[in-house]
């Protein structure tokens, strides 16, 4: 069985009892960074021993095949990401897809999600929303932005510290300076922040900050 286990996105207390039990009982834990997952296990006094195996964006098909082989041998594998829910803007979906194709039982262990945390804290309509992950850096970027000019639903995207200024500039050009927006960062952590205002106001806010830190969830 493959268990898709959601882990904290910042605050280590944001994990379910079911997730902790699954991490204790699994034969193996496939994770993006064994050090980060090791810290989480250590925080909850969960033995990791030889159970941790790396699985990340640079893992080749041979690693996927190896995990599928273990699953077909009736091993229970817990899939985790560095933070949040595996498969959401990370390589976990590749393994999940292959496991389903191989006839393996796949079950979700729900929990923390940066997308949903930012969305519900934004104050925008949550009944229908569009999540786009990290928007393209070059190819199709302008096409995607144009397609959102007449959007009818709340939109949620991720953005890195290296591109946040450029993205906000483009958003102001495409969607207008007065469009309401919320930008969250360090969600659930000590320095959690939600910048609220128009796109122009938020651009000016981050300009005054100087050296911008951390990654962002943008809701508009």
The DSSP-derived string for 63-112 is HHHHHHHHHHTT--EEE--SSB-TTSSSTHHHHHHHHHHTT--EEEE---
Give yes or no for residue 211 having a pLDDT over 90.
no
Q: What CA–CA distance (Å, rounded) separates 121 from 101?
A: 37
How much is the pLDDT for 60?
A: 66
The rounded Cα 97 to chain-centroid distance in angstroms is: 18
Which of 150, 138, 152 is closest to 175 using CA atoms? 150
Residues with Cβ within 8 Å of 109's Cβ and at least 6 positions away in sequence, in order, are 3, 4, 5, 6, 16, 18, 19, 22, 78
Q: What CA–CA distance (Å, rounded) separates 137 from 130?
A: 19
Residue 6 token pair: 């959601």
The region of weakest confidence among 1-10, 67-76, 204-213 is 204-213
Residue 11 token pair: 């605050």
Q: Quote the percentage of the chain above a pLDDT of 70.
A: 98
Give yes or no for residue 86 having a pLDDT over 90.
yes
- C-alpha distance across the termini of the chain, in Å: 38
Q: Backbone phi, then psi, for 89, in 5-degree steps? A: 55, 35
The residues facing 134 across adjacent strands are 158
The region of weakest confidence among 24-33, 84-93, 157-166 is 84-93
Q: Using DSSP, state whether 54 is helix, strand or coil.
A: strand
Residue 13 token pair: 């207390």
Average pLDDT, the chain: 94
Give yes or no for residue 122 having a pLDDT over 70.
yes
Show the domains of the chain with their CATH numbers: 2-109 (3.40.1010.10), 114-219 (3.30.950.10)
User: What's the pTM?
Assistant: 0.89
């Amino acid at each position: 069985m493959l268990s898709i286990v959601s882990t904290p996105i910042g605050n280590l207390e944001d994990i379910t009892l079911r997730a902790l039990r699954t991490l204790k009982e699994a034969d193996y834990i496939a994770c993006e960074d064994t050090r980060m997952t090791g810290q989480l296990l250590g925080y909850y006094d969960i033995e990791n021993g030889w159970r941790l195996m790396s699985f990340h964006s640079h893992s080749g098909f041979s690693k996927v095949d190896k995990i599928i082989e273990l699953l077909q041998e009736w091993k229970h594998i817990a899939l985790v990401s560095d933070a949040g829910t595996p498969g959401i803007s990370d390589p976990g979906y590749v393994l999940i897809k292959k496991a389903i194709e191989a006839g393996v039982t796949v079950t979700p262990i729900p929990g923390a999600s940066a997308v949903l945390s930012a969305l519900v804290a934004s104050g925008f309509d949550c009944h229908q929303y569009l999540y786009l992950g990290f928007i393209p850096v070059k190819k199709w970027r302008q096409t995607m932005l144009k397609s959102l000019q007449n959007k009818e639903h709340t939109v949620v995207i991720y953005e890195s510290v290296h591109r946040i200024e450029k993205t906000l500039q483009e958003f102001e050009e495409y969607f207008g300076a007065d469009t309401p927006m919320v930008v969250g960062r360090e969600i659930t952590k000590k320095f959690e922040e939600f910048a609220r205002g128009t796109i122009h106001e938020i651009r000016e806010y981050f300009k005054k900050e100087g050296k911008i830190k951390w990654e962002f969830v943008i809701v508009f």
